[in-house]
Amino acid sequence: MPGLWGQRPTDAMLSAMATRSAPDRLLSVLSAFDHGHPALSLTDISRRAGLTLTTAHRLVGALTEWGALERDTDGVYHVGLRLWELAALAPRGLALRQVALPYLEDLYEATHENVQLAVRDGSDVVYIEWLSGRSAVGVHIRVGARWPLHATGVGLVLLAHGEPGLQEEYCAGSLASFTPYTITDPTRLRRALAEVRRTGAAVSTRQVTDDALSVAAPVRGRTGSVVAAVSVVVPEADAQVPVLIPAVRMAARGISRALGWQPRPAVAR
């Protein structure tokens, strides 16, 4: 039977829908939106979610009524404020950002360069705050953006302080390359992670763009585990790494203390 507005579901679509639960179909509607597709028509949602128009229409209506989606005057749908309200409750999202923001602003004032805060999600780093600097250095970052852990300074920090099993699994996988300088050799990556743990900071040079260098440091939670990473991104050509490292460390340490972390007292020899 034809779907809404004449779309006829294919046998493959009907078979796929039969094996998907109602929550899966609902989540597929929300997953249709991303940074490249922030506004979608009902037809777009149906296509990207792999649903018939009839099913998409029903689910979109329910999500719009609840506030997860909003429909503008042109009939195009956007993510709704209700999801933003829920996101504010996430301890690794807006809640962490609110605690960290004063320290990120201090780091920006000290450097006037791009300042970032990120967390790990699986094998990716997700940026939850970004303060844009004055330099013209190429930064392909925005709030909510994802990058592989090995290709960024914050990612190296988060991977270096992850579980040993995570590190081994990651190093054994495929390491994507973005420039000729991206770390794609597992042995070299393991050495880089060891250096991050030894020095307490990561320096990532021209891994995503040919002109950028980032310095990152770990942010610790109340128990001492690394929950996030903060970084500054500067032009590689005139980067003052010895000056940037203590500034980034200080910002990370301030955020950590604000989260309840208490450094261990130094043991006298």
What pLDDT score does 6 carry?
Answer: 40
Q: What is the pLDDT of residues 149-185, one digit of tens each?
A: 999 999 999 999 999 999 999 999 999 999 999 999 9
Handedness of CA 174, 176, 180, 184 (dihedral sign): negative
What pLDDT score does 269 carry?
Answer: 52
Query: How far is the C-alpha of 40 from the C-alpha of 53, rounded, in Å?
Result: 13
Supply φ then ψ for residue 154, to 5 degrees.
Answer: -65, -35
**Residue reference for tokens 């940074």:** 35
Pair of tokens at residue 227: 């929950």
Cβ proximity of 46 and 56 under 8 Å: yes
Q: In Å, what is the CA distance from 56 to each residue of 50, 67, 78, 106, 108?
A: 9, 16, 14, 46, 44
Q: In Å, what is the CA distance from 45 to each residue of 14, 49, 61, 70, 79?
A: 17, 6, 12, 13, 12
Residue 3 has pLDDT above 50, yes or no: no
CA 125 vs. chain centroid, Å, equals: 5
What pLDDT score does 176 carry?
Answer: 94
**Quick one: average pLDDT of 123-135?**
85
Which has more confidence, 9 or 230?
Answer: 230
Out of 67-71, 85-89, 161-165, which region has the weakest mean confidence (pLDDT)?
A: 85-89
Query: How far is the C-alpha of 234 from the C-alpha of 68, rounded, in Å?
Result: 37
Which of 135, 138, 144 lies closest to 117 in space, CA to CA?
Answer: 144
